A and B are shown apart, each in its own frame.
Chain A
Amino acid sequence: MQVDFGAKELTVKLVYYGPALSGKTTNLRAIHWLAASNTRGELMTLETQNDRTLFFDMLPITVSSESGLKVRLKLFTVPGQVMHNTTRRLVLQAADGVAFVADSQRSEDDANRESFANLKENLAEIGIDPERIPIIIQFNKRDLEGIRTDEELEAIAAQSRATIYKAVATRGYGVVQTLLGLIRETWNNLETEHGLEEKFGINPTRLLTELESTLKHDPRQRGR
């Protein structure tokens, strides 16, 4: 988190982590598409020729709260491919919250597990306590065959500290819920650590409502 008291500006860094091809960039693309254009900047992707993330993707979202404070969310993805571990560690630095995008397919169980272990390892390496930073888990690709069932996910959720979200990022389903969930947990954590409400006079419920309304184009909500 970065605070600029002069500019009344708060910057929060959120990182999308997960195994290769689990849909991290797709999440950001969906958010970019769903977010109201006056709040979000351009989606910056640093990718190789075959559309694989090389360094990271970055999507800035800016919301002004009623108190006059500007909240800037910086959403980052890491490159999932195993060989880019150094980059993942660099991108993770100064993260305030992490969304772990897991692939729901059973065949990807090992990749999910390895990537999650890698996340914890990298967090510890850069001096962030993996047990304290807000981490939420998104099980993506719910529309595919051979996936972990809802019951299994519920069982995982019951055992895990992390909240679990389900998504089909290619269609934008669950993407906003994941992001809002991550923001909520990150905000609570920052509030506990820094007392933001008192310092900036922000009402967290109102801020979240405002964020929700900037992401109002969620096709799932539209469909119901």
Chain B
Amino acid sequence: MMHDDTSAADLLMGDVVRLEDVLSRDAVTMVCKSFFALFGLPVRVVSHEGDLLADAHQERPLCRYLNTLAGGEKACANTVSAVRDVEPTDRAIVHPCFTGAVYRVAPLSYQGRLIGRFIVGPYVPAGTKKAPSSLSSVDSAIDAKTALAHFAAMPRVRDDVAEKLVAHMQGMLELLVFSGHRAQLASTMQVANVRENYRELAEKNERLKASFAELKELDKLKSSFLATVSHELRTPLTSIIGYAEMLESGAAGTLSDGQSEFLRTIRAKADQLLGLISSLLDLGQLEADSLRLNKKAVDARALLSDVGSTVVPAANRGNIRLEINVDEDTPRVHGDPVRLRQIIVNLAENAVKFTPEGGEVELSAEPGSLDSGIADGLGAALFRSTQPAVVLTVRDTGRGIPEDKLARIFDAFYQIDGGTTREHGGAGLGLSIVKQLVDGHDGKIEVTSEVDAGTVFVIKLPAADDDA
């Protein structure tokens, strides 16, 4: 809002404050000049405050002659000043000159308010035959013959014509005021609008910023809560698993076949639950930025072989070919071996899970580079810095991920669809953890996918310094 703003207050009432605010001096001067050229009548436009805005005239020989005389010059100045002071309100006023000529002063009003006036003249009313005595007596040195000759040469205008000409000029000037006012209102309104919109947006941004900060704080609380709860859940569960193992090993006496089978189920389900809780704990720690990475140089071939041996039983069950390819120039990865394994296992398990029978899953490693600095666009080439990296790829020939879902697969708890979840299980945490672990290693993960053709995850991780 525009409180205490004077220009705004005028705008609010849609009023013209000063004639010169809405009347272009150039435009009004051109109109006056054209009027003078057409009718030979001088015109002056004066604002309500008395400022001369336009003046189109040529000194008449009579006036020029009188100005050479001391008395004439004085009388002339007095007349001009008196004419300038005439303030007509609703109709034109005819003001006489000592020479016998007259000035016609007409008001300019707009929206019920006087905003200025204009003066037409001097001219001699048609029918005036004789000059008044005030002309010849204005100065003792006046040459009456010269003065009268000049008087005779003054333009003659009939009253009714003068009235029409003045009305015409009045209409023209008021139209100029109207269109000038219209343009002024439009531009003031435009500026006021921009200012108001800017203020509104700035306020909204402030509110968004505050609520964003609040949400961030809440999110942090949530993550730390998640980490704490997971930790508290894991402790009793570890005991449950431990005691189940002891029972299974016969530490509390021999078990029947039925009891053994039940215990195996308890173990399997407890392991599954432990996996889920571990994921939650990881996520909580990752989101709360409290996960510590124990980084060292990790051999990519060993890493992929280890992962391969973990997923091969599942691959075999699904009749899926598992292939591991490692370029011999691949440097070692600078990372936490446990977390790197977690990343690749997660992706590889997913790949196997979503690849139909007879399909193929490939794990590969090769040398590459990692960009940092400005990602794209202007300056990218100038300010980008690259570092040696290891490119790990997990490729499958599975069902693929629809394009519109790709952007969300790294969100925690996100499942591509309910149907898939029921078929394949999982809490939707795997990829979120993978993404955060990769980020934690200052790496990058990208995914490309084609429905019913397969998915490719490409992870770039910094190479260990020794190998760089």
Contact = CB atoms under 8 A, between A and B. Distances in A.
Contacts of A9: 112-113
Given A60-B112, A72-B112, A125-B1, A46 B181 contact: no
Interface in A79-105: 86-87, 89-90, 93-94
Given A11-B15, A44-B178, A87 B189 contact: yes
Interface stretch (B192-200, B358-366, B411-419, B448-456): B192-200
B110 A90 contact: no
Given A44-B178, A44-B185, A86-B200, A74 B14 contact: yes
B13 A41 contact: no
B185 A41 contact: no
Interface of A: 2, 7, 9, 11, 13, 41-42, 44, 46, 54-56, 58, 60, 62, 70, 72, 74, 76, 86-87, 89-90, 93-94, 125-127
A90 B189 contact: yes
A94 B9 contact: yes
B252 interface: no
B192 A41 contact: no
B192 A90 contact: yes
B196 A86 contact: yes
Given A62-B111, A72-B111, A76-B14, A46 B185 contact: yes
B251 interface: no
Contact of A94 (B12, B113, B186): B12
A93 B189 contact: no
A44 B185 CA distance: 10
A64 to B, nearest CB: 9
B114 to A, nearest CB: 9
Contacts of A54: 186
Interface string B74-110: 0000000000000000000000000000000000001
Given A41-B110, A44-B185, A72-B113, 12 more contacts: A11-B15, A13-B12, A44-B182, A55-B190, A58-B185, A74-B13, A86-B200, A90-B12, A90-B193, A93-B8, A94-B9, A127-B1
Contact of A86 (B178, B181, B193): B193
Contact of A93 (B12, B110, B182, B193): B12
25 contacts: A2-B13, A9-B113, A13-B12, A13-B13, A42-B178, A44-B178, A44-B185, A46-B186, A46-B189, A55-B186, A55-B190, A60-B14, A62-B111, A62-B112, A74-B14, A74-B15, A86-B196, A86-B197, A87-B193, A90-B11, A90-B189, A90-B192, A93-B1, A93-B8, A94-B12
Contacts of B185: 44, 46, 55, 58
Top-6 shortest CB links A-B = A62-B112, A60-B111, A94-B12, A55-B189, A41-B111, A86-B196
B426 to A, nearest CB: 46
A55 B189 CA distance: 7
A58 B13 CA distance: 10
Contacts of B112: 9, 41, 60, 62, 70, 72
